[in-house]
Each structure stands twice: as structure tokens, then as C-alpha cells.
Structure 1
Amino acid sequence: MASIGEVAEPKPRIHPFRLLCAASSYTSVQIAYGFAFALFSPMMTRLGVKSWLTPIMWLVGPICGLLQPFIGVFSDKATFRFGRRRPFIFVGLAFVLLSYGFFIAIEQGAFKNNTVAIVIGLIAFIIINVAINILMLPARAIVFDVCGEGQETMGNNFIALLVGVGNIISYIFSAYVKNPYPYGLAFMVLLSVPTFLAVRERRYVRAEGEKIENPFKITFRALFKVVKGGPVLRAGFVYLMSWSAYFAFNTNGTLFVAKAVYHGTPLQNSGSSLMSDENAFNNGFRTALNQLTVPMMAMAMGGSASGAIPGAVCLIARQLIQQHTGMDNERYVAMMKNGVKNTICSIAQKVASTSLFSNTSFGAFLSSSFVSSSASVFAAAGTPENDAYIEGVKIGSLAMMAMSLLTSVFSAISELVQKFFGLRATYFLTQLLATFSLFSMWIPRNIDKSYLWAVFVSYCGMAFNFSMFNSVPFAIVNMSVPQEESGVYTGVMNIFCLLGQTISQGMCAAINAALPDDRAVNGRWFLQWDFFATGVVSAVATVCSLILRVGQRNSAYDSNSGMKSGSVEEESRLLLEHKDDGQGVGSVQL
């Protein structure tokens, strides 16, 4: 480690593939985030949580994010045998496994009481946010531990690329797999393996008498240095504004399609609900079908197995099933559309030639032939509004997946784009496009499925800025602070992220509390007004992006340092082809 004023040897550059492997574990962070973004809000809505309360629940993320600076402090000085960063990544994955277990239990209907399911869901959400914050900083810091001189931007671009990959995995499984959590966990483990294998972390050896300082003291000391001014503060402020504009979109992307576009309403998982109480449903069916024994026997013994027999049985079945399950006509019709009618009639035809004429044995026959094969069909059917809601969440996940795919593509070429247009111009244009995208979801009234093409276009418009604000601010920071302190300063940067997320969810909670969540007002749903508010914030972020400056490692906190109005070529050279300034990694001017 170089002391103040001492010249440090430039770090040797490594092969880009090895750098990509080092960044691979960051995909796990985004898979965990992606499942939360895609499924948590729809899950809470299905459990009956009011629309104004869901954004408040999302504040769990920023609160848990306060862990990051302290994770940074401990990981910078950790003396684990397997390195400073990898043990934290392993622990984070273990916490994800625990949280996914709770989410799977909720999806399987293990908790019949809504209040219990909501509390368990919130506990699981807290655990997964703790896991994400244990994972995130070490997974990012390990990239800068191994990257060579001038490879900071490449490392950040790889991270942005893998953010898109993680989102694609999470959204596609959310759309097409009924229980996506085991698949998500499998991909998280699989994509963390390259990091464990490709990175050879040296065990940190503390100097004699060296101790880890109070993490609160280190974090706030670093924060105090940052707020004095300079390129890092500017990057942090722009990062805050970008997250304020983006976070509500990310948490409501799937819900917007389900509610505002498909006009879906989920069936709530109530303990008294016919659709969610599987035992009561099965018992009701068995009672009804057992009572069909007499008319079926009479018709079967009449010697005819023609179409009249199944038809008559179906009429009687409808009356008995509705009587014993409390099913209304609309739900019965929905059940019929899902193939249960054919099952009933098929059973009736079998009965015409069966010798199972005792009430008990016939009930067992019906239970094995009908309830086991058809109860799940009925339980998945629900009302047309519920079916629309489920389809909307699926299509919303696909729209978010399309955005993520475009994020990955742009991340792969963003270095060239920034080099051509310049850092500030590229950030400005992508943030401006995000602003137009958010407003485009607010402008139309009475939207429906014919608007889907515009939803996909608007969502894709968010992809470019998402890539930029996941890479550029951190590239500026990592070029401006001592390498051995990258963990704590990356954690400090995330404080700006947490403030942005808090602002975003606070705005949405206030809007949602003032508007109904079950109908549109003057042709616009409450989520459209959320996007209007965040669109205004995005417009402010667009203007703020013009203050970005690229600092140098020896002047990171000097408010008079950094690029003031340099040319595109000079700005790009500093960001994309950064070289050691000759004063060393440790020579920070405070």
C-alpha cells in the first residue's frame, strides 16, 4: 500500500474474460432483485394489501441498504482464509435460500390466514433485502480488486451487462414458471461459481496492532469527505435523482400491466375464500358428488349410456356443486371453460358401465377420478378478472425482460457510445429518453390491451439510462478514491441510492393513498400518476446530469477539481482510458 505522496506501481491489466468472471456473481444480486421486483407487489396485492401500503413495504430495501457501508468496512479489512469478498457472497446466497423458502410456502398456500401470509411475506422480504445488501457491495468491490489500471469502466460495463442478464433470467421465469424461486436460486449459485474460481483473493494480513475502526466512524468520515464537494458528490447526487425516477417503475412494472392495461383484479388468499381453501373445496366437491350416486345409479341401471345421461348428470352436478361450495354462476362458468365439464361428463359415461354402486365406494371412485384431476383446474380458474390479472403479471414480466435484454445489449457497447458522444452527453440523452418513457405511460387515458405495444416501447426506453446509472457513477468513484478503500466508498455511494429509493416510494405512497386502487379516475389508474411523479423527477435528473465531472485520484474531494467544460475527447479519455496520474493510488488530496 502506498503512503501519502508515494508513487504506487500501476496494477497490471487482466484478460477481459477473467474480469467478466469476476463480475459474474453480480448477476445473483440482480436475479434476487428481479424476482422481488416482478413478484412482490403482485403477491402483496393478491393478499389484500392496500396500494398505498405496498410502497411503504418497499422502504425495507433502503433501510436494509444502510448495511452496505458497514459491509464495505468489514470486507475491506476482513482476514478470512478465502479472501475479503467471497465469504460475504457465500453468506448472501445462504440468506437468499432462506427467504425463497418463505416465498415458496406462501405461493403454495401454506398460510391460510391472510394476515399471517402478509407477515411471513414481509419477513421474507426483509431477509432477501439483507441478503442483497450482503451480496451487492462485495460482488462489485471484487471486480475493482482485480481489474488493472484503466479497466475500471470495463468492469462497470460488465456489471451493467450482468444486471441485464440477471433481470432477463428473473423476469422470464416469473412469466412462464409457476414456482420460479428454485430456478432463480440455481442460477444464482451457478453464476457465482466463476467468481469463486476465477478470482484469487489474497488473505488480508493486518499490520501489527491494526484494528478495524468503528464502522460508523469510518462511514461517516468518508461521507463527510464526499459532501465537501467534488466529482464524487456530483456523481452521488445524479445517482440519487436517477434512482428516484426509476425505482417506482421497477417495483410496479408488472403490476402496471396487470392493473392498468389488463384491468385485472386478483382473488385474495382469504382463509374463507373458496378459491384458496383447498380442503374446504375438496370436501364440498366430495359431498356434492357423493349425492350424485343415486341419480347416476338410476340412469345407469336404466340401460342407456347415451349423451342424455352425461347431460342430465351435469345439470344435477351444477346444482349440487354450487350448493356445497358456495360457487356463484360466474365462477362455475369459469370452471367449465377450464375443462371440468368434460371431466364430469367423462365420469358420467364411465359410471354407466361401472359396478361401483355403493355410496362409499362410489364416493372414493369420484374422489380419485374427479377431485384429484379437476380440483387443481378449478383452483387455477377463478374469475375473468383474476385470469386477466395473472396474464397481466406475465406480460408485464415479459416487458421488463425486453427492457433487461436491451440493457444488456447497450451495456456491451456503452463504452464506445460514451467515447463517441462523451460521458455527460450520453447520460443526458439516456435520462431524457427515460423521462419521455415515464410520461408516455401517464398521457393516455382508458388504456387497454391495444396499448401493449406502447408499453413495450416505453419499458425499453428505460433500459439505456438503467445501464448508465449502474455504471458511470461507480466508475467515477473508483477512479477517484484509494483502491484499498473502494469498499467503504462504494457503500457511501449506495447511501445516495437508498435516499433516491426512499424519495420514490414516499411519493408513490402519498399518491396511492389519495387515489382508489380498484378503478381508474378520469381514465387514469393510480400507477399512471406514480409514473407522472417519477417522470417529473426524471426531468430534474436529466438537467442534473450536466453537472457530472470526471475526477482524478489525487483530487477526488476537491470541489475545484474534475472536468469543468472539457472537450468530449478529453472527458472520454479520462473516463475510458484513465491512466495513473503519477502521484499514486494513495495520494488523495483531502
Structure 2
Amino acid sequence: MNNNKPTLSFWQIWNMCFGFLGIQFGFALQNGNVSRIFQTLGANVDDIPILWVAAPLTGLIVQPIIGYWSDKTWNKLGRRRPFFFYGAILTTLSLFIMPNSPSLWIAAGMLWIMDASINVTMEPFRALVSDNLPKKQRATGYAMQSFFIGVGAVVASALPWMMTNWFDIANTAPAGQIPDSVKFSFYFGAVVLVIAVLWTVFTTKEYSPEELESFHEQEQSDDASDIQSDVNFNKGGVIFTVLGLVVLGIVTGLSLEKELYLLAGGLISFGVIQFIAGALKAKNATNGGFYQVVNDVFTMPEAMKQLAWVQFFSWFSLFAMWIYTTSAVTSFHYGSSDTSSLAYNNGADWVGVLFAAYNGFAAIAAMCIPVIVKKVGLKMAHAINLVLGALGLVSFIIIKDPSLLIWPMIGVGFAWASILSLPYAMLSTSVPSKKMGVYMGIFNFFIVIPQLLAASVLGLILRHFFDNQPIYALVLGAVSFVLAAVAVLRVKQQ
């Protein structure tokens, strides 16, 4: 029997995904302005990466929890929509408060709250596409989300500039105060976010648990949904804890880069989590959310494990690009690392244009991707787009004229749009429907882990192997994109 979920119209998919426009406004304002807020409130440049660790760690913790809860929720608002609604309210309040933070540590705390609120809203959106769409439309649904992400990123990233140049709002302020252009950008973004998310809440229908149960897709995949792990959690706990302590001892003893403490802390934390899971299993206390999420990590379907490598290499590339493009372009193409020089600031401004460009190209790519998928399938389409991204990044060391760097952004845009859509389309056909939310949350691990690893080791690699030249971080990103393309061809789909 075929999957009998009804095919949705273009406008039904549009309404279902429209909330992502608002979510991206929140993310883009956060990504583009929080470092500026931190520095304005007195943070040293060297402290900013540590302050930013809050964002990925928040997603690592919040997304699987929200996914687990949303899988088990059903009330008058539905299954996923309650989380959209309350997350949007919290995020809106956070966007109003953040630019009015009176001190650095309040701003740092607000980043935790704002990122947690955004994650509460965002995580169930991924699961909603799988809940509501038949398999044949999921690539289209996730591509629609990519379209709204691209549009939202372009507009929200430009908001402070627009406030100054279109509405004559000051982009400077006395020392220690946030400029009005940033404040009004956050206020405008907050309004867009809540309107966009509420549009989805009130225009989109959800299937009840009984209706979802009736679909053949769920019957086909539920066989593996309640597997209890036979993994020896205590053995894993010992291995990761000892490994983390060894890394910690080496970093401390040899006075290595402080970023490596993140790596040590991550290994130790994963070991402790396994010890707790082992203790719960020994007491037969396996019905709680904590144990269920940890158990689901170790009983992931094979296709999800394979997709994890695709995500790991893809997002390692993205973080290499986000972290190092400014320093790469200013030093390699503009010949300056002096942040007070005109050349450096011209280069940094141009990077902002390049980032807006790849998000714009991603919005266009999102409309092309469903067509490519129909021609060559999910795996090959994603592999092609990742190779386009690799060609885009490696072009930075080949192209000398910075004005021509706009063209490689086409490849990066296609890779970005594909990363935001096709892995989720493949994942949604490989995991149990009734655990779609928690598995979407766990899938986020393979976005956060490469981010933390990039923050821990990329600087070390550049210093010791590439004479501290940041342009080679983009080359490493290109290599990582190719590895992701190879990995996706190995994914076994149902």
C-alpha cells in the first residue's frame, strides 16, 4: 500500500514554511549583530568566541528535548504548533531586550535565552514537513524552508544598513551604548518573526496522532522505533571520560591553545552523559525523556548514521567559511590585516556583500533544487550541490580580483540551500514517524559538533600547517564539502 497522505498545494506548503522567514530574521540579527553588541559593552575580541559558544551548546541541549516533547504533544493547537507559538513569543521578547542589555554579562545571558527560544520555535518546523507531506513532496517542503531562510537572511542582515541609509537612524552611539540602528533592527525583526510564525500557526493544519498512525509510512518504519540499546553505556562513559581527561592534561601541560579546552570538555561531558544513562538502565528507569533521547542516539537507523557524516563534513565547511572569510579576503585579496586600515574595512564590507549574495543565490537555488531532485534523485542532487560549494570555496585562492568573488557565491548558495533541505528530506524517510521530532533534534548534534570542533582545531591547523594564512581555511572547507559529497552517495535510503 502506498503512502496515502494527501498531496498539498503550493500555497499550503508556502503557509506551512512561511514561519521560517521570521525564524531566520531572528537568527540573522543574532549572527550579524551580537558580536557588535558584545564589543560595544566591553568584550575583548579574544573573548567573543567563548561568549558565542552559548549558541551551539544551547541548540545541542534544547533541540532534542523539544523534539522529544513535541513528539508526545497533542492539544488544541496541535502537535508542533504549540512550540511554534510559545517559542515565537519568547523569541520576540528576547529580540526586544537584547539590544537594551545594560552590561556584557546580561547580553551574554540574553544570547542563551534568545538562542534557546529560537530553537524551541525552529526544531518542530523540520518535523512538521515530514508530518504533513508525502515523501514525494518533502524535498519541495524543505526547499521552501531554504527559500525563506535565504530571503530572511538577506533582508535581516541588511537591516542596520537600511535603518541608517533609508530611514536616517544613527548607526553610532556614545561609548558603551548600542546604536539606534541596531535597536530598531531588532524591534523590526521581532515584529516580523512573531507575525510570520503566527501565520503558520493559524493557517496550517496538523494530522492527529490517530491520523498519522493510519498512514502506511508509519507502519513501515515503526519496527525500529522502540529498540532498547544494548550498548554498554558505562564502557562508553569510561572511554570518553578518560579520553577527555587525557586531552585536558595535554592541553594544560603543554600550554596549548585554549580553544582545545572545548574539545576536552565535550569528550568528558559525553562520557558523563553515558554514565548517567548506564545508571538509569541499571535501575530499569528507562521511561524518562533523558534516557530515551540518549538511547535514540545509539539506536539511530543506519541511514541516519550515514547522513551524520554528510552533515558533519558539510557544516565543518560552513563554519570554516563563516569564521575565516573576512580575515581571508582582507589579507589575501586586500592585502591588509590592520583592522583600522581602509583596505581592511573595504574588504570586510565586501565580505558582507558576498554573504548576502550567497543567501540570495540560495533563495534562487531553493526553487531549482526540486527540479534537480526529480531528474537525478535526492542523493545525487545533494552531491552535485556540495561539489558546487567546494568549487566556490576553492575559487577564493584562485581568483585574485575581489570583485569577481561574487561568482563563486553561486556555488556556495546552491550548497547552502541544499544543506538546509535535502539531508532532512532523506532523514524523514529513514526514521520512525512517531519519533520524528526527537530524531530531528538529535540530527542537530551533527551540526553543532563540527562547529565546536572547528572552533577548537581550525586555528591550530592554520598556525602549524599553513603559516597562519586564513585563506587555507576556505581550501579546507572545500575539501570537506567534497568529503560530504562522497559520503552522501553512500547513504542507503528506503
Q: Common fold, TM-score beyond 0.5?
A: yes
Instruction: Indicate the residue corresponding to 2:146 in structure 1.
Output: 160
Alignment of 1:136-535 (within 5 A): 136-148=122-134, 150-177=136-163, 178-179=181-182, 180-201=185-206, 213-226=287-300, 230-251=302-323, 253=325, 263=336, 385=341, 394-442=349-397, 451-510=401-460, 527-535=470-478
Contact 1:427/1:545 (CA < 8 Å) preserved in 2?
yes
Structure-2 change in CA distance of 1:481 and 1:89 (3 Å)? same
Deviation at 1:395, TM superposition (A): 3.6
Matching residue within 7, 30, 33 for 1:36? 30
Deviation at 1:418, TM superposition (A): 2.5
| Count of residue pairs brought into register by the alignment | 399
Instruction: Indicate the residue corresponding to 1:270 in structure 2.
Output: none
Structure with the greater relative contact order (CA < 8 A, sep ≥ 6): 1 or 2? 1
- CA–CA distance in structure 2, aligned partners of residues 86 and 186 of structure 1: 19
Deviation at 1:51, TM superposition (A): 5.4
Structure-2 change in CA distance of 1:132 and 1:55 (3 Å)? same
- CA–CA distance in structure 2, aligned partners of residues 390 and 31 of structure 1: 25
Residues 411-451 of structure 1 deviation map (CA, whole Å, 9 limit, x = unaligned): 1111111232343333233222322333333567xx7xxx4
Deviation at 1:44, TM superposition (A): 4.6
Which amino acid letter does the alignment assign opposite residue 540 of structure 1?
Answer: L
Structure-2 change in CA distance of 1:10 and 1:164 (3 Å)? same
- CA–CA distance in structure 2, aligned partners of residues 241 and 49 of structure 1: 31
Instruction: Indicate the residue corresponding to 1:546 in structure 2.
Output: 489
- CA–CA distance in structure 2, aligned partners of residues 403 and 247 of structure 1: 15
Contact 1:70/1:488 (CA < 8 Å) preserved in 2?
yes
- CA–CA distance in structure 1, aligned partners of residues 322 and 192 of structure 2: 21
Which amino acid letter does the alignment assign opposite residue 374 of structure 2?
Answer: K
Deviation at 1:464, TM superposition (A): 1.0
Which amino acid letter does the alignment assign opposite residue 535 of structure 1?
Answer: A
Residues 379-398 of structure 1 deviation map (CA, whole Å, 9 limit, x = unaligned): xxxxx64x777665544332
Residues 173-208 of structure 1 deviation map (CA, whole Å, 9 limit, x = unaligned): 244333221222222123223312221346769x9x
Structure-2 change in CA distance of 1:533 and 1:47 (3 Å)? farther
Which amino acid letter does the alignment assign opposite residue 413 of structure 1?
Answer: C
Deviation at 1:78, TM superposition (A): 1.6
Which amino acid letter does the alignment assign opposite residue 489 of structure 2?
Answer: L
Structure-2 change in CA distance of 1:248 and 1:182 (3 Å)? farther
Deviation at 1:139, TM superposition (A): 1.8
Instruction: Indicate the residue corresponding to 2:15 in structure 1.
Output: 21
Contact 2:58/2:116 (CA < 8 Å) preserved in 1?
yes
Contact 1:258/1:392 (CA < 8 Å) preserved in 2?
yes
Aligned to 1:200, what secondary structure does the other structure show? Answer: coil
- CA–CA distance in structure 2, aligned partners of residues 170 and 393 of structure 1: 18
CA RMSD of aligned residues (A): 3.4
Structure-2 change in CA distance of 1:539 and 1:476 (3 Å)? closer
Structure-2 change in CA distance of 1:198 and 1:213 (3 Å)? farther
Contact 1:25/1:195 (CA < 8 Å) preserved in 2?
yes
Instruction: Indicate the residue corresponding to 1:121 in structure 2.
Output: 107
Contact 2:23/2:197 (CA < 8 Å) preserved in 1?
no
Task: Note the residue ranges of structure 2 that are not aligned, 5 or more in a row.
Answer: 164-180, 214-285
Deviation at 1:511, TM superposition (A): 5.6
- CA–CA distance in structure 1, aligned partners of residues 381 and 84 of structure 2: 32
Deviation at 1:244, TM superposition (A): 1.1
- CA–CA distance in structure 2, aligned partners of residues 477 and 260 of structure 1: 39
Matching residue within 52, 72, 81 for 1:58? 52
Residues 520-557 of structure 1 deviation map (CA, whole Å, 9 limit, x = unaligned): x99x97543433443343343233233133x22xxxxx
Deviation at 1:155, TM superposition (A): 1.2
Task: Note the residue ranges of structure 1 that are not aligned, 5 or more in a row.
Answer: 1-6, 267-383, 516-520, 553-590
Deviation at 1:245, TM superposition (A): 1.0
Question: Of the two, which has the highest radius of gyration?
Answer: 1
- CA–CA distance in structure 2, aligned partners of residues 74 and 417 of structure 1: 35
Q: TM-score scaled by structure 1?
A: 0.60
Deviation at 1:142, TM superposition (A): 2.1
Structure-2 change in CA distance of 1:64 and 1:458 (3 Å)? same
Residue 89 (1) aligns with residue 84 (2): yes
Residues 234-253 of structure 1 deviation map (CA, whole Å, 9 limit, x = unaligned): 12220121011112323555
Which amino acid letter does the alignment assign opposite residue 77 of structure 1?
Answer: K
Instruction: Indicate the residue corresponding to 1:308 in structure 2.
Output: none
Which amino acid letter does the alignment assign opposite residue 440 of structure 2?
Answer: T
- CA–CA distance in structure 2, aligned partners of residues 86 and 103 of structure 1: 25
Structure-2 change in CA distance of 1:38 and 1:452 (3 Å)? farther
Contact 2:142/2:425 (CA < 8 Å) preserved in 1?
yes
Deviation at 1:460, TM superposition (A): 3.2
Instruction: Indicate the residue corresponding to 2:252 in structure 1.
Output: none
Instruction: Indicate the residue corresponding to 2:174 in structure 1.
Output: none
Aligned to 2:25, what secondary structure does the other structure show? Answer: helix
Deviation at 1:61, TM superposition (A): 2.5
